[in-house]
Structure 1
Amino acid sequence: MLARLHRIAEWLAALLLAVIFVAFIAQIVMRYVFNWPVGWTTELSLIAWLWLVLWGAAFVLRDDEEIRLDMLTRAVGRGPRRAIGIVAALSVIVLFAMSLPASWSYVTFMKVEKSSYMNIRMDVLYSIYLLFVVAVIARNLRTLAHLLRGDAPAKPEASIAPPAP
Structure 2
Amino acid sequence: MSSKFAMVGEWLRNRAENLIAFMLLGMFVIFLMQIAFRYVLNVSIGWTHEASVALWIWMVLFGSAFVIREIDEIRFDLFWGPAADGPRRVMQVISAVSLVFLFGWSLPAVIDYVTFMKVESTAYLKIRFDYLFSIYVVFAVAMIIRYVWLCVQAIRGKAPDSFDPTKASSGV
TM-score higher than 0.5 here? Answer: yes
1:122 is matched with which residue: 111, 124, 129? 129
1:108 is matched with which residue: 111, 115, 122? 115
Mapped to 2, the partners of 1:32 and 1:43 lie a distance apart of: 19
Q: Paired residue for 2:5?
A: none
Given residue 35 of structure 2, which amino acid in structure 1 is its aligned partner? Answer: I
Aligned residues: 160
Using the TM superposition, give the Cα deviation of residue 158 of structure 1 relative to its aligned residue in structure 2, in angstroms: 4.3
Q: Paired residue for 2:12?
A: 5
Given residue 11 of structure 2, which amino acid in structure 1 is its aligned partner? Answer: R
Mapped to 1, the partners of 2:35 and 2:163 lie a distance apart of: 44
Using the TM superposition, give the Cα deviation of residue 159 of structure 1 relative to its aligned residue in structure 2, in angstroms: 7.3
What secondary structure is seen at the aligned counterpart in 1 of 2:81? helix
Mapped to 1, the partners of 2:83 and 2:29 lie a distance apart of: 48
Q: Paired residue for 1:19?
A: 26
Q: Paired residue for 1:69?
A: 76
Given residue 90 of structure 1, which amino acid in structure 2 is its aligned partner? Answer: V
Mapped to 1, the partners of 2:31 and 2:114 lie a distance apart of: 27
Q: Paired residue for 2:138?
A: 131
Using the TM superposition, give the Cα deviation of residue 123 of structure 1 relative to its aligned residue in structure 2, in angstroms: 0.2
TM-score by length of 1: 0.92
Given residue 147 of structure 2, which amino acid in structure 1 is its aligned partner? Answer: N
Mapped to 1, the partners of 2:97 and 2:38 lie a distance apart of: 50
Q: Percent identity?
A: 44
Using the TM superposition, give the Cα deviation of residue 155 of structure 1 relative to its aligned residue in structure 2, in angstroms: 2.8
Given residue 98 of structure 1, which amino acid in structure 2 is its aligned partner? Answer: W
Which segments of 5 or more consecutive residues in structure 1 lack a partner in the other structure? 161-165
